[in-house]
Amino acid sequence: MTEKCSVSAEFQRRDMTPDAIAEMMQLQMRELVEAYPSRDCLKSVFPRIARKMELTASQVKRLYYGEWRVIPAHIYHNFNAAYERHLQSMRERADHDAQVCRQLSEKWDATWSDSSSPIACSSLGGAPGD
């Protein structure tokens, strides 16, 4: 995820032509659509993304399919702000998932760290050789 952020930041410094901006936004929109389950069709995903992005479903569709070569400024600003919120949400979700994994790992280690003891073996239903 940080690679995408650094690529985006480098892109913004290097190449700000209207075509390049439209292409970047199309890639970001496709990334947002891919975050939804694969069983959802685009027709149902576009309105959900539109609500998050503070855009209309038709504007989301036009960004997704790359129909705009020049992006209107208000759409560009709304999209960038919402995309940053999305990235922050994904970072927080990843941090939360990592924390849950650490807690489960610690719980597992605490429960099974001394599996050679008779107490651990008896909780499994008998001796190790059973």
pLDDT tens, residue by residue, 34-85: 888 877 788 888 999 998 888 899 999 999 999 988 899 999 998 988 889 8
Mean pLDDT throughout 122-127?
53
Structure tokens at 31: 């990334």
Residues 36, 45 contacting (CB under 8 angstroms)? yes
Residues 11, 24 contacting (CB under 8 angstroms)? yes
pLDDT tens, residue by residue, 15-39: 788 888 999 999 999 988 888 887 7
Residues 78, 54 contacting (CB under 8 angstroms)? yes
Give residue 119's pLDDT: 56
How many C-beta atoms lie closer than 10 Å to residue 89's C-beta? Answer: 12
In angstroms, the Cα distances linking 44 to 38, 40, 55, 94, 130 are 11, 7, 15, 25, 54
Give residue 100's pLDDT: 94
